[in-house]
């Protein structure tokens, strides 16, 4: 059973036939850094994929232990040697304790609401463990050789939590500068608990994409195209000039509720418009095709959002995409997604998502 989450996209995972040794490595050591393969969640921190190294504190302690060892050995100081070896034993115990603190931590889900380009998405990771694990850090992978601004900045975001058996959610900010289906960057999950001497970590690249809508154009010119009733403009705002009211139904947008009337009638009522003077706005690609692509998408995005806010019926025509005239949350998302994915090769992206609200 695969899980599909709100506004995240799963792409089909195509693996070119790799040499046998590579496949063997994949099998034995899944998710090692050299293998940049994406994985389907949930992923558990199996012992074979855990890295462990001394932290800066660990190296410092190691250095002082070596000094202690040399001094004790030189004078054959047995109590000094005993203390030194005891501390070495402690280091070994702490190494294993740190390792065990990360082992079996499971990344169960990854969820994120779609954002517009230029905003920061909040990526929610659900972690689970068979018993409480304090001090589990989650962050975007920090590369030694940082390739670009994205890598540099991502390294600065991290979150820490105590992972409980019932599940713990941590939130990682992910700046999204560009629209489109953005692959989730590689994650590092690490811990230094219980003594900060060692860092145990795993790398993980979930096979998921974040959907980033185009940025709505600021101060976009008003829509001047025709609608199907012949009007060339549309008025902003739902206004008070509605045609009738009907009892509130689950799913009606809040802004459609006629509050004054509801107060009078002692029950919630929704406004009802009849299409005769409002019409259906059709946003057409041809209207903006003279602009650069990104700006065109930006303008369409701004128009669609305005139309939705105004409570109009609207449809969108893009090359390779045509929507029915409608309004509402789901329709808005459908249109914005089409704009976000404009230019993506259709065969490559399989959009499969549920419109149910994320259960966070």
Partner 1 sequence: MEKNQVKQFFQSHYRSRRSSRGSATALPAHHMLWLLLAIAMAIVPHWRNLPGWFWPVAALIFLWRGYSLGKPLHRWQVLLVTTAVLAAITVSAQSGLGRSLGITILASMAMLKTLETRTRRDAWVLIALGFFLLMTRFLYGQDLILLPWLLLTTLMLAYALLLTQGNATGSAWFIPRLFKQTARYLMLALPVGLIFFLIFPRLSSPIWGSPELFGQGKTGLGNSMRPGSIAELFLDDSPAMRVNFHQPPPASDLLYWRGPVLEEFDGTTWRAHDYILPRTASSPAQDHKTITYDIELEPHGHNFLPMLDVPVQAPKGAFLMPDWHVQQDHPVTRLKHYRGQSQLANPHSDHLTPSMRRRLLSLPHGLNPRTRGMMQRWRGQTPDTRILINRILQWFHQENFIYTFTPPPLQGDSVDQFLFETRAGFCEHYASAFTVMMRFAGVPARVVTGYQGGLNNRDYWLVRQSDAHAWSEVWLAGHGWLRVDPTTAVAPSRVASGAQSWLAAGRNWYDYGWVRGLRLSLDTWRYRWNRWIRNYNTQAQKNLLRSLGLDSANPATFAWLIAVTLLAGGVGVLLFLAWTRTSPKQHPAEKIFTALQKQLTRHGLPRTRHEGPSTYLLRAARRWPGLTGQIQAFRRLYEKHRYAPELRHLSEENATWKHLQSKARALQLAIKKEPPTPADGPE
Minimum gap (Å) between residue 165 Cβ and partner 1? 6
131 belongs to the binding site for partner 1 (CB under 8 A): yes
Nearer to partner 1, 170 or 332 (CB): 170
**Is there a contact between 198 and 98 (Cβ–Cβ < 8 Å)?**
yes
Q: Cα–Cα distance between 50 and 101 in angstroms, integer?
A: 11
Closest CA relative to residue 114, chosen from 323, 336, 354, 345: 336
Give the residue, chosen from 9, 41, 45, 94, that forms a contact with partner 1 under the rule CB under 8 A. 94
Window 74-93: residues binding partner 1 (CB under 8 A): 74-90, 92-93
Nearer to partner 1, 153 or 323 (CB): 153
Could you tell me which residues are beta bridge partners of residue 318?
A: 321
Nearer to partner 1, 301 or 313 (CB): 301
Token output for 219 = 């101060």
109 belongs to the binding site for partner 1 (CB under 8 A): no
Minimum gap (Å) between residue 272 Cβ and partner 1? 39
Alpha helices in the chain (DSSP H): 20-28, 56-74, 78-102, 149-154, 259-265, 285-288, 293-310, 329-340
254 belongs to the binding site for partner 1 (CB under 8 A): no
The piece of 12-20, 31-39, 96-104, 237-245 that touches partner 1 (CB under 8 A) is 96-104
**Is there a contact between 284 and 304 (Cβ–Cβ < 8 Å)?**
no
Residue 263 half-sphere exposure toward CB, CA atoms < 13 A: 2
Q: Cα–Cα distance between 189 and 126 in angstroms, integer?
A: 12
DSSP 36-80: ---BPSPEE--GGG-EEEE-HHHHHHHHHHHHHHHHHHHTT-HHH
Minimum gap (Å) between residue 108 Cβ and partner 1? 10
Closest CA relative to residue 202, chosen from 217, 185, 216, 189: 189
Minimum gap (Å) between residue 89 Cβ and partner 1? 3
Window 135-194: residues binding partner 1 (CB under 8 A): 135, 139, 149-150, 152-153, 155-158, 160, 162, 165, 173, 175, 177-178, 191-194
354 belongs to the binding site for partner 1 (CB under 8 A): no
**Is there a contact between 86 and 69 (Cβ–Cβ < 8 Å)?**
no
CA distances 111 to 6, 177, 189, Å, are 7, 19, 17
Minimum gap (Å) between residue 41 Cβ and partner 1? 14
196 belongs to the binding site for partner 1 (CB under 8 A): yes
Nearer to partner 1, 134 or 275 (CB): 134
Give the residue, chosen from 13, 130, 259, 265, that forms a contact with partner 1 under the rule CB under 8 A. 130
Minimum gap (Å) between residue 131 Cβ and partner 1? 5
Instruction: Give me the residues that bind partner 1 (CB under 8 A), please.
Output: 56-57, 60-61, 64, 67-68, 71-90, 92-94, 96-97, 100, 117-118, 120, 130-132, 134-135, 139, 149-150, 152-153, 155-158, 160, 162, 165, 173, 175, 177-178, 191-197, 294
């Amino acid at each position: 059973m695969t899980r599909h989450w709100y506004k995240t996209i799963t792409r089909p995972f195509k693996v070119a036939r790799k040499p046998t040794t590579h496949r063997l490595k994949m099998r034995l050591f899944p998710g090692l850094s050299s293998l940049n393969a994406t994985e389907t969640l949930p992923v558990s921190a199996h012992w074979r994929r855990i890295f462990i190294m001394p932290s800066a504190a660990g190296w410092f302690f190691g250095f002082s232990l070596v000094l202690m060892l040399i001094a004790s050995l030189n004078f054959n100081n047995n109590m000094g040697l005993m203390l030194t070896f005891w501390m070495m034993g402690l280091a070994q115990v702490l190494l294993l304790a740190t390792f065990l603190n990360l082992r079996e931590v499971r990344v169960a889900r990854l969820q994120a609401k779609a954002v517009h380009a230029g905003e920061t998405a909040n990526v929610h990771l659900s972690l689970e463990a068979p018993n409480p694990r304090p001090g589990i850090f989650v962050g975007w992978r920090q590369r030694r050789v940082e390739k670009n601004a994205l890598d540099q900045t991502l390294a600065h975001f991290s979150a820490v939590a105590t992972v409980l058996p019932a599940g713990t959610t941590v939130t990682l900010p992910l700046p999204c500068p560009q629209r489109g289906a953005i692959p989730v960057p590689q994650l590092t999950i690490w811990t230094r608990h219980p003594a900060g001497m060692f860092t145990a970590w795993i790398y993980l690249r979930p096979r998921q994409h974040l959907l980033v809508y185009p940025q709505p154009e600021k101060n976009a010119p008003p829509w001047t195209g025709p609608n199907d009733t012949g009007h060339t403009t549309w008025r902003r705002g739902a206004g008070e000039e509605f045609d009738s009211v009907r009892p509130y139904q689950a799913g009606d947008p809040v802004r459609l509720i006629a509050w004054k009337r509801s107060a009078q009638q002692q029950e919630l009522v929704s406004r009802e418009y009849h299409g005769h003077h409002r019409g259906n706005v059709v946003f057409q690609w041809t209207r903006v095709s003279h602009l650069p692509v990104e700006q065109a998408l930006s303008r369409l995005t701004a128009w669609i959002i305005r139309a939705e806010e105004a409570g109009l019926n609207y449809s969108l025509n893009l090359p390779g995409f045509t929507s029915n005239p409608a309004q509402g949350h789901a329709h808005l998302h459908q249109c914005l997604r089409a704009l976000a994915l404009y230019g993506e090769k259709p065969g490559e992206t399989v959009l499969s998502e549920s419109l149910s609200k994320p259960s966070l």
